[in-house]
């Protein structure tokens, strides 16, 4: 169908792979146009899990594609692998398919031979540019179909409309083979394959590989569903294949020193406020109580005598406050006597003035 050669890009000084369409297909004008159109579409993809397409063209009437050279083998040489390794390989392929489906491309020929594995472990999806263009012709060639039909979706084998769900089915068939060492269906002809797919005569994964987790087996069987609407999308496949993130251990977080200091200040303020509140309550309660009982009076007047009610000048009042008690008493007596004399003298002066006025 096509031949692949290792070549050298002299302009960029790098190793590349050149895929040249077979001579028996190069004469089909419609096929050549579709081949080049799909190759140009594939050149728009840029993803770690997709083989990069650098260029496309024709040489001596034969279309070719220049693509990234992958140093490694395909999954066709891997055989059966442990479940964890199979999950990791399928996860990388699902990521590449999700990127292609977002760009509007359907591979249509996912199989172990088109999944290339680098030596460091990175998986690359190849042949995005040739899968669609060769589909119509592949079904007419018995040898080619029997080599890849084990990974074809039922609707694809029947010639019906092919959607991104067909790539998910094919990847599920590849994952089934990685886990069990054999494809989902063993058949002798396309009619036999179609009948087995119709009856869904698929041996459960855990019967052939008991070490496979049940969740992984369920995912594979959903990918192989006959109805395309029952299959997960490539994005959903990525989410289910990704290992769960480990839950971080619970650790006690140390309280910052500033927060501790603030807490102590708040507590001290509350204590001080409570003390003031209790003091105010105590004082209020003591002042409003009943007065203490006084001892009975003996008839004798005790305590200082009441001061005279005569009016004093401010200076005299100050001197009186500064003078001793005895001096204050003498002064008070003198002031009372002087006041009495002044009161006694006022009527006499009034009567004399009245007599003079009459005379």
Q: Which residues are catalytic?
A: 109
With CA atoms as reference, report the closest residue to 221 among 172, 294, 289. 172
d(CA 175, CA 171): 6
Q: In the chain, what's the furthest Cα-to-Cα distance?
A: 174
Q: Is 134 exposed, middle or buried (0-12, 13-18, 19+ CB in 10 A)?
A: buried
Helices 234-241, 83-102: crossing angle, 10 deg rounding: 150
Judged by phi (left if over 0) then psi (alpha if -120 to 50, else beta), residue 276 lies in: alpha
With CA atoms as reference, report the closest residue to 133 among 38, 63, 20. 38
In eight-state DSSP terms, residue 59 is E
Question: Are 220 and 176 spatial neighbours (Cβ–Cβ below 8 Å)?
Answer: yes
Those residues whose C-beta lies under 8 Å from the C-beta of residue 237, and which sit 6 or more positions away, are 90, 94, 97, 98, 168, 171, 219, 223
Q: Which helix (H) or strand (E) is 18 found in, with range?
A: strand 14-21
Tokens of residue 167, six digits:
């790539």
Cβ-count burial 224-262 (b if 16+ within 10 Å, e if not)? bbeebeebbbbeebbebbeeeeeeeeeeeeeeeeeeeee
Tokens of residue 237, six digits:
């496949």
d(CA 231, CA 163): 12
| Backbone φ and ψ of 102, nearest 5° | -65, -30
- Residue linked to tokens 């092919």: 162
**Edge-to-edge strand ranges of the sheet holding 14-21:** 2-9, 14-21, 62-68, 53-59
């Amino acid at each position: 169908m096509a031949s692949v050669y290792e070549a050298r890009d002299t302009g960029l000084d790098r190793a590349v792979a050149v895929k040249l369409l077979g001579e028996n297909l190069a004469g089909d004008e419609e096929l050549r146009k579709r081949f080049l159109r799909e190759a140009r579409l594939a050149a728009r993809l840029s993803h770690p899990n997709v083989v990069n397409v650098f260029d496309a063209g024709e040489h001596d009437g034969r279309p070719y594609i220049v693509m990234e050279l992958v140093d490694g083998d395909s999954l066709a040489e891997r055989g059966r692998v442990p479940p964890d390794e199979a999950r990791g390989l399928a996860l990388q392929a699902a990521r590449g398919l999700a990127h292609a489906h977002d760009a509007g491309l359907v591979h249509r020929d996912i199989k172990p031979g088109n999944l290339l594995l680098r030596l460091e472990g990175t998986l690359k999806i190849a042949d995005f540019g040739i899968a669609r263009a060769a589909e119509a012709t592949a079904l007419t060639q018995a040898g080619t179909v029997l080599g890849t039909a084990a990974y074809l979706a039922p609707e694809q084998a029947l010639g019906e409309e092919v959607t991104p769900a067909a790539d998910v089915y094919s990847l599920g068939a590849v994952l089934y083979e990685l886990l069990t060492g054999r494809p989902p269906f063993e058949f002798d002809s396309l009619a036999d394959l179609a009948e087995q797919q119709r009856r869904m005569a698929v041996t459960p994964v855990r019967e052939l590989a008991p070490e496979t987790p049940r969740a992984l087996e369920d995912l594979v069987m959903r990918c192989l569903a006959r109805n395309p609407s029952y299959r997960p999308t490539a994005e959903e496949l990525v989410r289910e294949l990704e290992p769960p993130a480990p839950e971080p251990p619970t650790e006690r977080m140390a309280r910052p020193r500033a927060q501790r200091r603030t807490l102590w200040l708040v507590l001290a303020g509350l204590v001080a406020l409570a003390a003031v509140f209790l003091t105010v309550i105590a004082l209020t309660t003591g002042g409003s109580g009943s007065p203490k009982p006084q001892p009975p009076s003996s008839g004798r007047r005790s305590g200082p005598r009441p001061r005279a009610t005569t009016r004093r000048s401010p200076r005299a009042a100050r001197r009186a406050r500064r003078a001793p008690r005895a001096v204050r008493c003498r002064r008070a007596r003198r002031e009372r006597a002087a006041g009495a004399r002044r009161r006694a003298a006022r009527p006499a002066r009034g009567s004399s003035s009245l007599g003079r006025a009459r005379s």
